[in-house]
Amino acid sequence: MNFKLGKLAAASVVSLGIAQLANADVLQGTVTDGSGEASLEGALVTIEGLNRTTSTGRFGDYRFSGIPAGEYDVTVSYIGADPVTQSITVAGDSSADFRLGRDVRYLDNILVVGSAAAQAGAINQQRASNSIISVIDSDGLGNFPDTTVADSLARVPGLSIETDQGEGRYVSIRGINTDLISASINGVRAPSPEDRRGVLLDGVPSDLLDGIEVQKSLTPDLDADSLGGVINLKTISAFDRDGRFFRAKLEGAHNEISEEVSPKATLTYSDTFADTFGVALSVNYQDLRIEAHNNEADEWSLLDSTGQYYLSDGYEHRWYGINRERIGLVANFDWRASESTDLYLRTLFNNYEDDEVRNVLQFRDLADVIDEDDDENEIVAPGSTLTDSSATFPLNETQAEVRVRREVRKIQTIALGGQTTWDGWDTDYEVSYAYAEEDDSDNHDAAFRFEDIQDVVPGNITLNYSNPEKPVWSDGALLDAVYDPANYFLDAFEREFTVNEDTEYAAQFNIARDSLIGQTPVTWKAGLKIRDREKIRDVNILVYEDDSISLADYARDSFISGWRLGNTQPTWPDPGLTRALRGAFGPGDLDEEGSFFDSNGEDYKIDEQIIAGYGMGTFDIGALTLVAGVRIEQTDVDLEGRVVLEDELTATTTNFSNDYTNVLPSVNAKYEFSDRLIGRAAYYAAVVRPAFGEMAPFFFINDDRDEAEIGNPNLDPLEANNFDIGIEFYPTKLSVVSAGVFYKDISNAIFPATFDIADVPGNIDLSGIPAEFINGDDTDGGEIEEVSTFINVGSSEIYGVEFNYVQNLGDLNAALDGFLVSGNLTFTDSEATLPDGRNVPFLKQSDTIWNVAVGYDKGPWDLRVSANYRGDYLDELVDANLDRTTDDRLLVEASAKFDVNDNLQVYLEGKNLTDEPEYYYFGSERRLSQYDEFGTTVVFGARLTY
């Protein structure tokens, strides 16, 4: 390693040496709601006359040091409550506690539960922060209205989600795709169970959380591996409130397509003992049953002679029957070991099982509508017709397939740490472990083919795609044959045993001290962190072939009930019957070449070590708060992949190593023009390392198709300079109006790319491909003509604006007391230049995102209606005018909660009330790629709290 740890440590602590020590008088205390039971995070505590302000932390605690002895008026403000002022005498170590809001029971306090409380908690934390953040606060401990974390995040300004079977799965910040942002659980980097860096957020139940913070501008004490921001999931703590807390939550969800009720239950308990030891436990279980109806088209091509686009590969119907079981456990322990030391243990365990049955009916070889003339020019085949909305041609092949998959994902995080204060120094320290696993070892895929259809039923068939979302086949006699299982025979039976593992160990130490430079309070801070990560992907696939096996023996003569798309969808191949095929094959039935190729090409092992150090200062210059510093990250990576030759059944291990250092400055500024008007500006440098599947040194050589797929271990990490400026206005007791502008200047963005072998850039390593496949000497004539890989592109940019508005209408007119409105809007744009000169937006970059919600929170009722809109975005590069695009989507939800008494609440929620589908297209909305319908879901439940 060319960057020495000693130098890193010296750079991290150099700023501490210039601190000028002030006198040691201290003022500290806590801020709680009116009952004294629930702490208030983000309250501003101001010492009048000294112009000193700080904000309360997670447990409502605040601390000033270096205060001259004397008597002061101390004011605490919290949006949603009237400010409170006390006269405090400071002499040595002094303390003062504050209560805000009505002096009523915890469950009734408007500052703690309900939509108004959630809005107030979020606004106060955002206002108090010295960087640019967005917050989702639960309306009571761990009580989120959504099933998954991703669904909750869809309401944050500038955030949008990618869905899977109707549920939020991946999150985008400001239109930036999930691989370029990061997520953590209680500050511990969340691992990814997939072969990427982007973290799945559909597995962790939101009921296990007490808050979610989205850090949009980074400070030096945060990991710098994020272009868009950091999503931090905060689980519950016993010290979030005073005394014992218990909640039981039971609900059911009814989906209109599956027509089943899915149960969910959560138990949460916390207690403190002798005010020094706290225990918080939460367990969640959900058994979700849903269906999805789907159309997909594999590929479109352009017929140059007419300028028409036509389906040139396959088209299929898909039915998904899905059972998702989630089990989550949080066990957190806090120990106030002494007046100067707090210790904690934070643990999260999550198990997610996705049992899926997928029935597919595929219409193959649709390019038969096209032929060639004597000059080898493409023309419409004789006897066929092609229009802008239909194609008529002889259908020759279909396929019926069933996939039975049981995917088990696990995520675990454990963090042991604490904080110690001595002689004016504040330290915190932590060791952590994070593990994720995805196990696909209990599945099979059975595909049956109906070949040479024209020999059975000659004639044309017509595909009408005037409604591109729901194409329709027509021709009675031919379709009768297509829907007869006796015409199908086994093409392939596939078993998969694949495991992905992601393990990270980390340790960090931070030290801080308050001081004065002249009359300017400064907090100096420095730290070290080590992260050691191992990513393993092990793919094992067995492919069997026996074309004597008839589908008629593995089919029940029925069709999907309530099928929503163009043509009926059979229930065959039957998932239960085909399970018997798992043990039905002998050694002679194994496709050795295909099994070997598929089992070895994607295997890799990557070890990544990051050592980081930083130094920073927080300067309290009157109305200006300035956080400035630098972070240095040293990265060492060892990669192992394979060179796989399909026809030779060989797999050779290949290794690669790399190391690099990044110096990453940042500045965050907050200026208080008044107690209601705040300006913000930020700059930070970031580094995002290549995705594991992009930089793994694999060579996947398929000489039958004259192509090679290779990873690129020479990829440079993406680097970005990020700029933000914004303004926030707090006009009334519970309201905020804000606007911001952001710009990201990006180097080394990574895109997939395909080259002719003669045009491969020099920085793409082809040494893993045997020479005979490149120079044309291969005796089988299978030399490689095309290479698919990943490349860095030059300068790219992302820019946009954000608007946010939250208002308690009762502040404007007493007649509207209890009504709440909120809305946010984000416009973004981006541009990157590919090697062929084509300009494209960033992948997953939505240009427009907005949310609107109207609520009523008064007395026993808490009502809300909300809408979330995400604009279309580039999903996959294909070709100019044929890139795969995800269409825009508008989701509408509503909820009603009623407090039966102080302890019992019942609620009703509706999700996807407009039955909005998900649609993907190739270049134009007229060209289907994928269309899914999920239906509306109604949730009903009860919550019991003590």
Number of domains within the chain:
1
CA nearest neighbour of 701 among 606, 605, 604, 782: 782
What's the average model confidence in pLDDT over 388-400?
95
Share of the chain above pLDDT 90, in %: 63
How far is Cα 879 from Cα 754, in angstroms, rounded to an integer?
11
| Whether 482 contacts 559, CB under 8 Å | no
Q: Is residue 123 part of a domain?
A: no
Q: Is residue 361 part of a domain?
A: yes
Q: Is residue 96 part of a domain?
A: no
| Whether 507 contacts 559, CB under 8 Å | no
Residue in the block written with tokens 């999907």: 560
Q: Give the type of residue at 140.
A: G
Burial (CB count within 10 angstroms: exposed 0-12, middle 13-18, buried 19+), residue 726: buried
How far is Cα 831 from Cα 840, in angstroms, rounded to an integer?
6
Q: What is the pLDDT of residue 774?
A: 73
State how far Cα 155 lies from the chain centre: 14
Domain range enclosing 630: 248-395+403-511+522-945
Structure tokens at 847: 């240009």
How far is Cα 108 from Cα 110, in angstroms, rounded to an integer?
6
| Whether 326 contacts 300, CB under 8 Å | no
Strands 786-792, 750-756: pairing is antiparallel
Q: Is residue 41 part of a domain?
A: no
* Mean pLDDT of all residues belonging to the chain: 88
Q: Is residue 526 part of a domain?
A: yes
Residue 631: CA count within 13 A, CB half-sphere: 24
What's the average model confidence in pLDDT over 85-91?
92
Please list the residues that pair with 222 across neighbouring strands.
none
Q: What is the pLDDT of residue 107?
A: 37
Q: What is the pLDDT of residue 162?
A: 79
Residue 670 has pLDDT above 50, yes or no: yes
Residue 672 has pLDDT above 90, yes or no: yes
Pick the range with the lowest mean pLDDT from 118-127, 206-215, 254-263, 697-706: 697-706
How far is Cα 673 from Cα 783, in angstroms, rounded to an integer?
69
How far is Cα 407 from Cα 579, in angstroms, rounded to an integer?
16
For residue range 894-943, what is the model confidence (pLDDT) as tens digits?
Answer: 999 999 998 899 999 999 999 999 999 999 999 999 999 999 999 999 99
Q: Is residue 177 part of a domain?
A: no
For residue range 50-85, what is the model confidence (pLDDT) as tens digits?
Answer: 878 899 988 899 999 888 889 999 999 998 888 899
Q: Is residue 69 part of a domain?
A: no
- Return the CATH number at 385: 2.40.170.20
Q: What is the pLDDT of residue 145?
A: 54
For residue range 739-774, what is the model confidence (pLDDT) as tens digits?
Answer: 999 999 999 999 888 888 888 887 787 877 777 777
Residue 716 has pLDDT above 60, yes or no: yes
Q: Is residue 911 part of a domain?
A: yes
For residue range 681-695, what is the model confidence (pLDDT) as tens digits?
Answer: 999 999 999 999 899
| Whether 236 contacts 282, CB under 8 Å | yes
Structure tokens at 929: 């790629």
Is residue 12 very low, low, confident or very high in pLDDT (cuts 50, 70, 90)? very low
Share of the chain above pLDDT 70, in %: 94
Structure tokens at 120: 């107030």
Q: What is the pLDDT of residue 3?
A: 42
Pick the range with the lowest mean pLDDT from 39-43, 412-416, 797-801: 39-43
